[in-house]
Structure 1
Amino acid sequence: MRDVELLEEGLALMGLGMGFVFVFLTILVITITLLSLLLRRFAPDPAEPVTSGAARSAPPAQQDDEVMAVIGVALHRYRQHHHR
């Protein structure tokens, strides 16, 4: 009889603990959601980053050609070295 009472108390304690955690996490999610909405409402919009004309221009075509040549040489050497 004592074992049954201990089992019932254990199950009741487990249910109470799980219920407390569930309620706490629900309140936490609601609080974070409300704070997020509040922050979006009162926070200023982010400023657009200012970029100069030189930063926006594309890299020169000569540099692209150099990079492609270096990659081609590296591939050729790799394939020669690791030929099966």
Structure 2
Amino acid sequence: MNEGPIILEGVTLMTLGMGFVFIFLLILVGAIKLLAVVAMRFDPVQKPSPAGASVSSNPTSDDSLIAAISVALHHHKKNFS
């Protein structure tokens, strides 16, 4: 029995399969990069604030966030103590 042609056919099939997967992944990466460029045109990322500036522009929302976190922690400690 001669296994030479069967092994050659298996290697050919493996090479074609890996080639198709590689090409598909290249197309997928290209499509993701293209979508990222299109998304940046519609909704650009805001530039970060300087190091000395506050992260939030609305101090009232910071106060309400701190209050909400404090209430949640108090409730958690009360229920699980």
Decide: shared fold, TM above 0.5.
yes
Query: Separation in 2 of the partners of 1:4 and 1:54?
Result: 73
Query: Separation in 2 of the partners of 1:19 and 1:54?
Result: 53
Aligned residues: 56
Q: Which has the higher helix share?
A: 1
- The amino acid of 2:60's aligned partner reads S
Query: Separation in 2 of the partners of 1:53 and 1:31?
Result: 38
Q: Which residue of 1 aligns with 2:7?
A: 7
Q: How does 1:1-84 map to 2 (within 5 A)?
A: 2-43=2-43, 50-52=58-60, 55=63
Shift of 1:55: 1.7
Q: Relative contact order: is structure 1 or structure 2 higher (C-alpha 8 Å, sep ≥ 6)? A: 2
Relative to the length of structure 1, the TM-score reads 0.54
In structure 2, the gaps of 5 or more residues are 47-55, 65-81
Shift of 1:43: 1.9
Shift of 1:50: 3.1
The alignment's C-alpha RMSD in Å is 2.9
Percentage of identical aligned residues: 42
